[in-house]
């Protein structure tokens, strides 16, 4: 299973390195979103700094939807059949695509994080907490995104259906991520970020486990 | 699947009718008791009367309908118990459940306005119910995508399970987020002591009534699903024939000479 | 008081409307089944 996942992850990432779609299109898109938010909240920095955690995670969520669409579109319908017949372990395929997606999202988040710190003037109290929340949240997003991506993959209405399916399910990540970031930035109303970090980890664990178990049937359906 | 679809046994049809009548009667009784017979609450005064319908509707929507949907999905996916019946049951249950979920939000909102002063409050229960509604709508959208029924069943079953797994997570996250709602006084398994006497009985009746309504709707929807799947080709043929007939009539009206000219 | 009426009305009307929709759909399908002989493929 792990060998297959590394194979698939390598393929996806190599395609990304060569085509640079995520880097050239999704990343600028997310930065544009950040700027647009600044238009609505600014120009004074106080409201921006306050809203920064939430805006960061909302932007990440939207970028994730785009990244999932891209990840799914890497395979045409013939390639999808090929994937099924190739004898690769479906769980391995799931983990591979999820890992590739996660790598792309992490790069995006580093960029966005820098953008948020720069544009919104936030003071970072604990960078480690920020990173931990990002990692845990991203694992969950990548897992859930890969699942829904494969589910809606072959459908013609994929573009409109995918966000509709993914975003509600990803809502806990948005909520927990925001709260965890608020705690890490010292702007939390009260209470530590720990329970939220734990929630992110639970979400990630649940969806990775679910994906490993259920990806076989999903591949059969697409 | 070669048995004639029209063979809906007399006994089954009669059972469905009986459930429907029981639902109607118990619902009417609940309304009568709830609005006129039971006393007003000490704190909420007359507003407490909504407790006889809102929590039952919420219970049916959140636990019963979606629970059956998730269970049916699992049973369909699991090879040992796979049968088209589970797919139909899950789909029917979630569709009826969506109506109840929306109704939960509406009645909750109506109850909330005089109680909290706002039409909508981001409290734990309302928020997670709203998210569930969106997830159910997503399921219904997925269901409408045309294609091979087996593939569709598989897609929807997986989608239902992914959403079902999320429901407890959403629930906890939103509960931690905030809580305005009464802390589960009404959904306690052993009718909590905060509701007494005739109110408790009416509440129980309310649960029974709304559950019966759901069961009846589920049975009817299930029948519809079975018929639809069996008659897929026939529906399309009839629709096509209607279009062609329309075309003929239009042509006949347009050109005085000759009927059926293109 | 009107809120209670609104609440009950919303519930009853919604349930009634949906029930009506279901019954109408079922009746149409049953009629279709009868016309086409109702044999499942």
Cis peptide before A132 (omega within 30 of 0): no
Cβ-count burial B188-212 (b if 16+ within 10 Å, e if not):
eeebeeebeeebeebbebbbbbbbb
Cβ neighbours of B102 in C, within 8 Å: 14
Residues A25, A67: Cα–Cα separation, whole Å: 10
B37 occurs within a structural domain: yes
pLDDT at position B7 = 55
Mean pLDDT, rounded, of chain B: 80
- For residue B92, being part of any structural domain is answered with yes
Decide: A144 and B162 in contact? Cβ < 8 Å: yes
**Mean pLDDT throughout B219-236?**
84
* Tokens read off for B232: 């897929």
**Could B158 and A151 be called an inter-chain contact, meaning their C-beta atoms sit closer than 8 Å?**
yes
C39 bridge partner residues:
B4
The string of pLDDT tens digits covering residues B45-65 is: 777 788 888 888 988 888 899
Round to whole Å and give the CA distance between A175 and A161. Answer: 22
CA of B107, closest CA in chain C: separation in Å? 5
Mean pLDDT of chain A: 83
Considering the domain boundaries, does residue B19 fall inside one? yes
Nearest-CA residue of chain C relative to B92? Answer: C22
Query: Residue A156 contacts by C-beta under 8 Å, 6 or more apart in sequence?
Result: none
**Which residue range forms the structural domain that includes residue B117?**
10-183+196-228
pLDDT tens digits along A88-127? 788 888 888 899 899 989 989 988 888 888 877 777 777 7
Partners of B145 on chain A (C-beta within 8 Å) are 155, 157, 161
Residue with the larger pLDDT of the pair B6 and B152: B152
Query: Per mean pLDDT, which range of A7-11, A171-175, B235-239 is the poorest?
Result: B235-239
Q: Which H helix or E strand runs over B202?
A: helix B197-230
| Gyration radius (Cα) of chain B, Å | 23
Name the average pLDDT for chain C.
83
Q: How many domains does chain B have?
A: 1
Alpha carbons B48 and B40: distance in angstroms, whole number: 7
The answer on pLDDT for C39 being more than 70 is no
pLDDT band at B153 (very low <50, low <70, confident <90, very high): confident
Q: Which chains touch A (3 or more CB pairs under 8 A)?
A: B
pLDDT (0 to 100) of residue B6: 52
Tokens at residue A118, please? 């720069």
CA distances from B181 to A213, B20, B125, B126, B194 (A): 36, 33, 7, 8, 15
Per-residue pLDDT band for A160 (boundaries 50, 70, 90) equals confident
Looking at beta carbons, which residues of chain C come within 8 Å of B114?
3
pLDDT at A188: 55
Nearest Cα of chain A lies from the Cα of B162 at a distance, in angstroms, of 8
Query: pLDDT confidence of B220, banded at 50, 70, 90?
Result: very high
B110 in reach of chain C (CB within 8 A): yes
> Which pLDDT does position A219 carry in this prediction?
78
Domain extent for A161:
2-221
Q: Where residue C34 falls among pLDDT bands split at 50, 70, 90?
A: confident
Nearest CB among B53, B114, B231 relative to C36 is that of: B231
Domains of chain C, residue spans: 1-34
Q: What is the mean pLDDT of residues A149-168?
A: 84
Q: What is the pTM of this model?
A: 0.84
> In total, how many domains does chain A have?
1
As a whole number, mean pLDDT of residues C5-19 equals 91
What is residue C16's predicted lDDT score, i.e. its pLDDT? 93
Q: Binning pLDDT at 50, 70 and 90, where does residue B194 land?
A: low
Query: What is the model's pLDDT at position B185?
Result: 34
Segment B19-34, tens digit of pLDDT: 899 999 999 888 888 8
pLDDT for res C20: 93
């Amino acid at each position: 299973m792990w060998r297959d996942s590394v194979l698939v992850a390598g393929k996806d990432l190599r395609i990304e390195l060569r085509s640079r779609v995520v880097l050239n299109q999704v990343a600028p898109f997310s930065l544009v979103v950040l700027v647009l938010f600044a238009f609505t909240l600014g120009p004074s920095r106080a409201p921006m700094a306050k809203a920064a955690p939430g805006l960061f995670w909302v932007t990440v969520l939207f970028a994730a939807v785009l990244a999932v669409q891209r990840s799914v579109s890497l395979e045409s319908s013939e390639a999808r059949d090929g994937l099924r017949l190739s004898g690769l372990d479906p769980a391995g395929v799931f983990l591979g695509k999820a890992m590739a997606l996660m790598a792309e999202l992490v790069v995006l988040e580093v960029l966005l994080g820098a953008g948020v710190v720069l544009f919104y003037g936030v003071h970072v109290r604990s960078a480690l907490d920020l990173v931990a929340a990002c990692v845990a949240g991203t694992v969950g997003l990548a897992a859930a995104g890969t699942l829904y991506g494969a589910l809606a993959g072959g459908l013609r209405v994929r573009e409109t259906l995918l966000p509709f399916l993914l975003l509600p399910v990803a809502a806990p990540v948005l909520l927990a991520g925001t709260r965890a970031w608020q705690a890490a930035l010292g702007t939390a109303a009260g209470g530590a970020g720990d329970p939220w970090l734990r929630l992110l980890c639970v979400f990630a664990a649940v969806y990775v486990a679910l994906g490993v178990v259920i990806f076989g049937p999903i591949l059969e359906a697409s | 699947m070669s048995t004639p679809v029209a063979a809906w046994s007399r006994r089954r049809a009669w059972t469905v009718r009986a459930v429907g009548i029981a639902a109607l009667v118990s619902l009417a009784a609940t309304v009568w008791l709830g609005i006129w017979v039971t006393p007003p609450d000490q704190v909420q005064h007359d507003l407490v009367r909504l407790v006889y319908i809102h929590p039952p509707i919420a219970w049916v929507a959140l636990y019963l309908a979606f629970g059956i949907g998730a269970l049916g999905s699992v049973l369909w996916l699991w090879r040992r118990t796979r049968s088209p019946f589970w797919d139909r049951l899950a789909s029917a249950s979630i569709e009826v459940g969506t109506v109840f979920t929306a109704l939960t939000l509406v009645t909750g909102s109506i109850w909330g306005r005089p109680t909290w002063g706002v039409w909508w409050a981001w409290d734990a229960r309302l928020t997670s119910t709203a998210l569930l509604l969106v997830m159910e709508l997503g399921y219904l959208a997925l269901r409408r995508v045309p294609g091979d029924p087996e593939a569709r069943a598989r897609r929807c079953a997986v989608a239902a399970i992914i959403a079902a797994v999320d429901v407890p997570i959403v629930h906890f996250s939103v509960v931690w987020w905030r809580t305005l709602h009464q802390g589960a006084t009404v959904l306690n398994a052993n009718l909590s002591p905060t509701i007494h006497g005739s109110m408790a009985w009416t509440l129980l009746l309310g649960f029974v009534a709304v559950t019966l309504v759901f069961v009846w709707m589920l049975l009817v929807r299930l029948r519809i699903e079975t018929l639809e799947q069996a008659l897929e080709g026939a529906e399309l043929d009839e629709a096509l024939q209607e279009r062609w007939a329309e075309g003929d009539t239009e042509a006949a009206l347009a050109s005085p000479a000759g009927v059926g000219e293109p | 008081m009107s809120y209670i009426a609104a609440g009950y009305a919303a519930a009853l009307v919604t349930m009634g409307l949906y029930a009506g929709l279901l019954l109408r759909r079922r009746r149409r399908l049953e009629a279709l089944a009868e016309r086409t002989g109702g044999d499942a493929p």
